[in-house]
Chain A
Amino acid sequence: MVVIHINRYKCGYCGACVGVCPSGALELIETWIEVDKNCTGCGICAKVCPVGAIEVKK
Chain B
Amino acid sequence: MKDSYDVVVVGAGPAGSIAARTAAQKGLDVLLIEKRQEIGDPVRCGEGVKKMSIRRHIEPDYRWICADVKGSRIFSPNGTKVEMSESISGGEVGYVLERKVFDRALAYEAAMAGAEINVKTRATGLVIEDGFVRGVNLMHLGDEYKIRSKIVIGADGVESKVGRWAGIDTSIHLSDIETCAQFLVIGENIDQDYCHFYLGNKIAPAGYIWVFPKGKNQANVGIGILGSKSGKYRAVTLLSDFLKEHMPDAKIIEMVVGGVPVKGTIEKTIANGLMLVGDAARQSDPITGGGIINSMDAGKIAGEVAAKAISAGDVSINALNDYEKRWRATIGREIDNSLMVKNTFVKFTDEDLNSLAYSLKDVNFTSMSLMDLLYALFKANKKLLWDLRYLFKDVVKNEIDFSYRS
Q: Which residues of A contact B (CB under 8 A)?
A: 12-22, 24, 26-30, 44, 46-52
Contact = CB atoms under 8 A, between A and B. Distances in A.
Given A22-B171, A50-B234, A29 B160 contact: no
B181 A20 contact: no
Contact of A30 (B36, B174, B181): B36
A27 to B, nearest CB: 7
Given A15-B259, A29-B122, A47 B159 contact: no
A30 B256 contact: no
A20 B255 contact: no
A44 B161 contact: no
Q: Report the interface size class on chain B.
A: 35 or more
Contact of A19 (B37, B122, B177, B256): B177
Nearest to A47: B231
A19 B172 contact: yes
Contacts of B159: 15-16, 18-19, 26-28
A16 B258 contact: yes
Contacts of A19: 158-160, 170-172, 177, 259, 261
A44 B228 CA distance: 9
A50 B235 contact: yes
A47 B308 CA distance: 43
B157 interface: yes
B236 A20 contact: no
A16 B284 CA distance: 14
B33 to A, nearest CB: 13
14 contacts: A19-B261, A20-B177, A26-B159, A27-B159, A27-B161, A29-B122, A46-B231, A48-B179, A48-B230, A50-B235, A50-B257, A50-B258, A50-B259, A51-B181
A12 B235 CA distance: 12
B73 interface: no
Residue of B122, B173, B181, B234 with highest tally of chain A CB at under 10 A: B234
A42 to B, nearest CB: 11
A43 B222 CA distance: 25
B44 interface: yes
Contacts of A46: 231
B257 A14 contact: yes
A52 B35 contact: no
B180 interface: yes
B174 A48 contact: yes
Interface string B258-272: 110100000000000
Contacts of B37: 30
A50 B120 CA distance: 25
B230 A50 contact: yes
